[in-house]
Amino acid sequence: MQSPFWLWLSFALIAVLLLVIYSIRWHRSPITAITSESTIDKLMPSLSGLSLSTSVEGNRVAVLENGAFFDVLLARIAAAQYSLHFETFLWKPGELAARVAAAFMERARAGVKVRILLDAQGCKQIEKDTVARLRDAGCNVKFFHKRSLYTIGVLNDRDHRKICVVDGREAFVGGHCITDDWLGDAEDHQHFSDVSVWLHGPIVHSIQGAFSENWAGETGELFVGDEFFPVLHKVGDISVHAAFVKPENSAPAVKILHHTALCLARKRIWIQNPYFIPKIEAIEALGNAVKRGVDVRVLMPATSGSDSPTVQHAGHRHFETLLKKGVRLFEYPHTLLHQKIMTIDGCWSAVGSTNFDDRSFDTNDEITLGILDHGITRKFDAIFEKHVQRANEIELEQWQRRGWLHKLHDNAAYLLHDVL
């Protein structure tokens, strides 16, 4: 029988090990006490600089919704002449997966360099036969953080980005994944709502760089030349920057970007996000924005619409605090609203793969684009308004009267918020 001394020593060693692991991952959250005399439309250099990127002018941006996104994506994949770089978090067998795989194989057989980076956890359901056929056709397929002794310290770090770069000249960024749930037009619970953007112009270099970051991390391979980084001239008048870097100790760029933007709003903050679990710093920033007279609204799926009701219950943990601060909350019960969008003052918007929760802000590899353009922001706000008409607004008094079982579920789910 093991003596109490050795038992307690084992517990102590485990506790020390967990503390060491936590200290390796720990970083300081940004303090949301930013003040500026300038409005957000004058602060693109600040937003991009703080998020470790550079704002570039001269871009063209198209907003693509729901299943119609894949019509454009597949057409552009078919048009590739030199290179295709694709990165995603979720790939499941089905009609869409078959179409995407066939498109990549056709281009690879035509001599196009096809690199595909799949998150090992999110894409664990992809058939081995599909991977084998992709590779036999000439596609270079790699998995991000496969389970092994070498990755045991980073298995919780997932590649949540959704990127496609075509010939280094055009790119897609957003929330769409490769499962049949993303087909259709969000018409029922089996078909999700989502938004991605299609980009041309100098910003494509930054998105190619984001792909290269994780590709080099998994393979060691670097790629150069005009087929990957061609000279890109101005093709429009939209300024864009890409936040994706995760530096040591400091908060990841996507977290800094979102938290900073909250502090700069003067008129409006409209958030659309499927997994809204803000930390106390963001809650305070949203409350302070209301005090400044900012119209703050958050649209998210209800538990009946979410693909992960536990996550939505965890988000409920702070609803009362947010409502008391004057933040308006809306839950959409009909299907999953998967778009990750935040608009500020009708002129600036953030869009990409980043959820408004600890996993995205602190752990996952993500990408968010900051876009300065009234037209694009109007389109995002129109999507908000379209869905909010069928959403339920949460009222404080009604929320306080919810049942004890609901409250228990909320608090229990929140205990897992760091890993949801």
Asked whether residue 12 is assigned to any structural domain, the reply reads no
- CB within 8 A of 38, min separation 6: which ones? none
DSSP one-letter string for 359-392: IIIIISB--EEEEE-HHHHHHHHHHHHHHHTTSE
Spacing of C-alpha 147 from chain mean position: 23
Q: pTM for this structure?
A: 0.93
Nearest C-alpha neighbor of 141 from the set 162, 168, 114: 114
Is the C-alpha dihedral spanning 283, 266, 392, 357 positive or negative? negative
| Residue 62 belongs to a domain | yes
Domain-embedded: residue 116: yes
**What would the pLDDT profile of 226-276 be if each residue is shown by its tens digit?**
999 999 999 999 999 999 998 877 899 999 999 999 999 999 999 999 999
CA–CA dist 253, 241 (Å, integer): 11
**Domain range holding 331?**
28-414
DSSP string of 185-242, one letter each residue: -S-STTS-B-EEEEEESTHHHHHHHHHHHHHHHHH-----STTTS------SSEEEEE
Give pLDDT tens digits for 99-141: 999 999 999 999 999 999 999 999 999 999 999 999 999 999 9
**Is 22 among the domain residues?**
no
- Give the total number of structural domains in the chain: 1
Q: Give Rg (Cα) of the chain.
A: 22
Residues 70-110 pLDDT 10s? 999 999 999 999 999 999 999 999 999 999 999 999 999 99
In a domain, residue 125? The reply is yes
Q: Is 175 within the bounds of a domain?
A: yes
2 domain-assigned? no
Q: How far apart are the first and last CA of the chain?
A: 38
CATH number for the domain spanning 400: value is 3.30.870.10
Q: Give, for 101, the enclosing helix (H) or strand (E).
A: helix 95-109
Q: How many CB atoms lie within 10 A of CB 417?
A: 20
Residue 5 domain-assigned (yes or no): no
